[in-house]
Each structure stands twice: as structure tokens, then as C-alpha cells.
Amino acid sequence: MRVLQKPYIAPAIPHIMHRYFKLTLLFTIGLMVSFFLPWVNVLFFDASAFQIPRYVSNLQEMAQAAGSTHRDYTSYLLYGIPVLCILGLCRDVFRLKIWYWDYAGILAITLAFMGYVLVKRQDLPVSFSIGCYLTLALAICGLVYGIVFNGNPPVIAESKSELFQELSNLQALKEKGVITAEIFESRRQELLQAIEQQQQEAR
């Protein structure tokens, strides 16, 4: 009696896990959370990035009641952060081949806001809080990670025979329809790069 062996699916699982749970996804979720954490402390009052535009608008309305005509909408740029986070989530989930401009945009918005506060802090005693610093750190980490790895985690070092065996198993999975052509080609390129790297190191 012939025993049917269970298809070897190990190569496909890490790729699928990277597709939905890779490090950039954690950065993006962290940025969404930090958006609702305290960003600034003004007169012992903590305000998150979500609250700051409304808080600034209330101050300007009070100033207008006192005769001021100046209006400043700079703080509303902060609402660009969750928009960029949502676009980043779409990039990670649907595996879009675009550069990590969302982190660059969030970094630019955060730095612009910090510069804006430093200029305006002469009028009110303002200090930055954890949400602002966390956003800055996560945006930098996400941008650096995207530039260095381009969203593709490095292949774990294996022996050349194991890499060839995994390549053979990957081809079998594709022929049986277990994995898609997109997953096959992406993982195949990673394995070929790892094999080429080992050959160069052996010279």
C-alpha cells in the first residue's frame, strides 16, 4: 500500500507570514497607536495628535474674540499621519511594490510640527510628550528598514543543499497549486540570491 506523503509547505508559510505580519506592519500599527498618545503638554494639559488641531482652533477662537484676526491651520497637517498609516497598511497587506514614502511623510509632518511648536513655545509653555517621540522613532525605523531591506526580510542562512532542496520543494508546490505564482517567484528569487551569496563566500 502506497503511503501518500503530506506536501511540504514550509517555504510558503514564512512568506505568507511576512506578507501580513512583517516588521513594517508593526511599525505602522505603532504609529497609529502613538497618534492617540500624548504629544504635547501645555499648562499641565496633555494633548494627543488627534486633539491638538481642535485645541489650537479653540485658542484661536478665544484670540479672535479678543480682537485677533490671525488664523493658523498648520496643526491640521497632523491628520495626515493616520491617512499615511492607512495607506501603509494597504501597501503591506496587498504587497504593493511602492517605496516607503508613508514613513517619509510621517517623519516630515512630525519634524514640521516640532519645529512649529519650538517657534510658538515663546507664547505658551509647551513640552513634547511620549507620543511625539515614539512617532519620530517609529517613522525613522520604518524608513531605514524600508531602504535597507526594501520590505523583504533577509533569508535565514541555510546550507547549499538545503537551499536547493527548498527550491525543488517550492517548484513542486507551485505545480500542485498549493502556492501562487507570485509567492513562488518571490521566494525563488530569495533562494537564488542566498545560493549566489554562498557561492561568492565559498570562493
Whether the CB-CB separation of 102 and 91 falls below 8 Å is answered with: yes
Residue 163 has pLDDT above 70, yes or no: yes
Work out the pLDDT band at 85, boundaries 50, 70, 90: very high
**pLDDT score of 10 more than 50:** no
Q: What is the pTM of this model?
A: 0.64
- pLDDT, position 56: 85
pLDDT tens, position by position, 172-197:
888 888 788 888 888 888 888 877 87
> What pLDDT, on the 0 to 100 scale, is given for residue 48?
95
What pLDDT score was predicted for residue 159?
Answer: 65
List C-alpha distances in Å: 94 to 91, 97, 98, 177.
6, 9, 11, 20
In a domain, residue 3? The reply is no
- One domain for residues 87 and 123: yes
Of 123, 149, 175, the position where a domain reaches its end is: 149
Q: Are residue 55 and residue 83 in the same domain, yes or no?
A: yes
Whether residues 36 and 127 fall in one domain: yes
Instruction: Please enumerate in sequence order all residues whose Cβ is within 8 A of that of 60, keeping only pairs 6 or more positions apart, or say none.
Output: 68, 70, 71, 72
- The number of folded domains in the chain is 2
What is the pLDDT confidence band of residue 135, given thresholds at 50, 70 and 90?
A: very high
The predicted structure's pLDDT at residue 157: 47
pLDDT digits (tens, 9 = 90+) for 15-74: 444 443 467 788 889 999 999 999 999 877 899 999 999 988 888 888 888 877 777 888
Q: Are residues 133 and 181 in the same domain?
A: no
Domain extent at residue 172 = 154-202
Judge whether 94 and 80 are in contact, CB under 8 Å: no
Q: What pLDDT, on the 0 to 100 scale, is given for residue 202? A: 65
Tell me how far apart the alpha carbons of residues 86 and 81 are, in angstroms, rounded to a whole number. 9
Tell whether 191 is covered by a domain: yes
Per residue in 111-121, pLDDT (tens digit) is 999 988 888 76
Q: What is the pLDDT of residue 58?
A: 87
CA separation for the pair 132, 152 (Å, rounded): 28
- Does residue 88 belong to any structural domain of this protein? yes
Mean model confidence pLDDT for the chain: 78
